[in-house]
Amino acid sequence: MYSFKNDYSEGAHPQILETLLRTNLEQCDGYGEDKYCLEAKKLIKNKLENDNVDIHFISGGTQTNLIAIAAFLRPYQACISANTGHIFANETGAIECTGHKVIAMNSNDGKLRKTHIIDALKSHTNEHVVKPKIVYISNSTEIGTIYTKAELKELREVCDENNLILFMDGARLGSALCSEGNDLTLKDINDLTDAFYIGGTKNGALLGEALVIKNESLKEDFRYHLKQRGAMLAKGRLLGIQFVELFKENLFFEIGQYANDLGDILRNGIKECGYSVLVNSPSNQIFPILPNEVIKALEKKYSFAIWKAIDSHNTCIRLVTSWATNKDKTLEFVEDLKNIQRL
């Protein structure tokens, strides 16, 4: 059984593991104040071309979203998100547990647009309802689509016009930045958002996300929030070392590109078979719509996520590739799909 279920089934990229082992007996300061965290922050700031940002390393995406959003909002404020957004659909009400509502807007492609934000503002106009304050987006989105620079600029403009915070979930940012059609850089994202994070967990690290805060009003006392929410690791070096390896050269982008290249093999094979997809996704998540009998046949050799039923005969599945996806197994999946189709 070979898995295309997610991009975190395996451990970590060998280069990261080698460095963790080599540095294992070094004595380091704790709580993210070690030399590796400091070096990782320096490397990321160089990529952003901005020294005036705060960077915090946090173990996972849900924890990063929860801590950042809770820290950025007043008690009566809320987030605007696509209905597919991770904070709305996949975090067990984590944001609501901090006392903040998620206002979900229906989106066919997982992306928020200016009209979504305006509509949310129009329906929340007084003190009898929550006040929208954060616009939450994911890049790539939960259904594999990516934002263009023009789309991000439009969101920045509407946020500025309405005094809103623009926050990007970058759990799969590596894949997004390496996708065909992407015209954003890390610098662009830093310039156009108030805060965002760079995902390591789904891009070759054992665990870890790098939260970048640019907006001065959001920086104060953030380490207090980390400590209070249980996110200040005593062995913070473990996160710092991984991000040093990801950014000291181009490993972060090499991993994203490899995952997308393997995704292209699946994309092209599915297209050759004549099957449609739920959404045109250029990243490492692919959402083919297949006949139920084809899915049952594939499940004998492969694991993947069942996304949603399309009708009584067809279902959308999710296939995900990663830094560790085996090319031969990917080609074999396509060949098996073609053979099943011929039966």
CATH number of the domain bearing residue 225: 3.40.640.10
Verify that 229 and 269 share a domain, yes or no.
no
Handedness of CA 132, 69, 65, 147 (dihedral sign): positive
Cα–Cα distance, 272 to 190 (Å, whole number): 38
pLDDT digits (tens, 9 = 90+) for 313-322: 999 999 999 9
Query: What's the pLDDT score for residue 341?
Result: 81
Cα–Cα distance, 82 to 151 (Å, whole number): 15
Verify that 48 and 175 share a domain, yes or no.
yes
Verify that 221 and 320 share a domain, yes or no.
no
Examine the fold and report which residue of 199, 219, 250 is the final residue of a domain before the chain moves on. 250
pLDDT digits (tens, 9 = 90+) for 285-309: 999 999 999 999 999 999 999 999 9
Verify that 244 and 261 share a domain, yes or no.
no
Whether the pLDDT of residue 337 is over 80: the answer is: yes
Whether the pLDDT of residue 342 is over 80: the answer is: no
Verify that 240 and 267 share a domain, yes or no.
no
Verify that 232 and 310 share a domain, yes or no.
no
Examine the fold and report which residue of 250, 278, 293 is the final residue of a domain before the chain moves on. 250
In terms of DSSP bridges, do strands 195-199 and 314-320 run parallel, antiparallel, or are they unpaired? unpaired
pLDDT digits (tens, 9 = 90+) for 175-198: 999 999 999 999 999 999 999 999
Whether the pLDDT of residue 101 is over 70: the answer is: yes
Question: What proportion of the chain, given as a percentage, has pLDDT over 90?
Answer: 99
Q: In the chain, where does DSSP find H-type helix?
A: 14-22, 35-48, 61-72, 86-89, 94-97, 114-122, 149-161, 173-177, 186-192, 222-228, 237-247, 251-272, 292-298, 327-342
Specify the number of domains making up the chain: 2
Verify that 133 and 97 share a domain, yes or no.
yes
Q: What is the CATH number of the domain that holds 327?
A: 3.90.1150.10
Whether the pLDDT of residue 32 is over 90: the answer is: yes
Cα–Cα distance, 171 to 59 (Å, whole number): 12
- Report DSSP state, residue 179: S
Question: What global pTM score does this model have?
Answer: 0.97
Verify that 264 and 234 share a domain, yes or no.
no
Verify that 234 and 262 share a domain, yes or no.
no
pLDDT digits (tens, 9 = 90+) for 246-255: 999 999 999 9
Whether the pLDDT of residue 166 is over 90: the answer is: yes
Verify that 229 and 260 share a domain, yes or no.
no
Average pLDDT value for the chain: 97
Cα–Cα distance, 189 to 153 (Å, whole number): 10
Mean pLDDT of 253-271: 98
Verify that 172 and 206 share a domain, yes or no.
yes
pLDDT band of residue 33 (cuts 50, 70, 90) is: very high
CB-based contact 64:95 (threshold 8 Å):
no
Whether the pLDDT of residue 87 is over 80: the answer is: yes
pLDDT digits (tens, 9 = 90+) for 53-75: 999 999 999 999 999 999 999 99
Query: What's the pLDDT score for residue 164?
Result: 98
**Cis ω for the linkage preceding 140 (within 30 of 0):** yes
pLDDT digits (tens, 9 = 90+) for 103-158: 999 999 999 999 999 999 999 999 999 999 999 999 999 999 999 999 999 999 99
pLDDT band of residue 343 (cuts 50, 70, 90) is: low
Whether the pLDDT of residue 39 is over 80: the answer is: yes
Examine the fold and report which residue of 195, 215, 250 is the final residue of a domain before the chain moves on. 250
Mean pLDDT of 206-222: 98
Verify that 305 and 195 share a domain, yes or no.
no
- Domain of residue 215 covers 14-250
Distance of CA 167 to the CA centre of its chain: 12
